[in-house]
Amino acid sequence: MRVAVSSDERTGVADAVVEELRRRGHEPVAHGALADGDRPDWAWASEAAARDVADGRADQAVVCCWTGTGASIAANKVPGIRAALCADAQTADGARRWNDANVLALSLRTTSEAELKEILDAWFGGTPSQDDEDRANVAHLADIEHAH
């Protein structure tokens, strides 16, 4: 699976995300501080990774910044993106299941390498719910985007 990855700095788990994705057999597509010549700021880097997903150049994305909040906000501004800030495996599993999230946002400050592995296990092991109510909620997100 192609996974766009962005970070605004190379600290915390930024490099570990790329390494762990490769170890799992995914093809990381780097942005921001992880790619030579890219603008590293969180808004630009997260947008680039999210656009890879929205435009079909990547299947999923992982966006990182110091708290993860800015990265998730920037990614969510791209139409079709459902970014979720996840600090633990249970949140990542729920984001994939109930929200059909396609972009994982992580905090460089608080995510340990052990938590990173657990979060990625849950994220990539999770599948979107087929429950009618859950699907209706996800579909409504697209309606909200198109209403403006």
Domains and CATH numbers, the chain: 2-146 (3.40.1400.10)
For tokens 């605004």, what's the residue? 8
DSSP notation for the chain: -EEEEEESSS-TTHHHHHHHHHHTT-EEEEEETTSTTS--SHHHHHHHHHHHHHTTS-SEEEEEESSSHHHHHHHHTSTT--EEE-SSHHHHHHHHHHH---EEEEETTT--HHHHHHHHHHHHH------HHHHHHHHHHHHHHHT-
Predicted local distance difference test score (pLDDT) of residue 129: 95
pLDDT of residue 148: 66
State the catalytic residues: 65
Which whole-number Å values give the CA distances from 104 to 8, 46, 48, 94, 146, in the listed order? Answer: 15, 11, 14, 12, 23
Write the CA distances from 124 to 38, 64, 94, 106, integer angstroms.
27, 17, 12, 15
Could you give the CA distance from residue 132 to residue 42 in angstroms, rounded to a whole number?
A: 35
In which residue ranges of the chain is pLDDT below 70?
A: 148
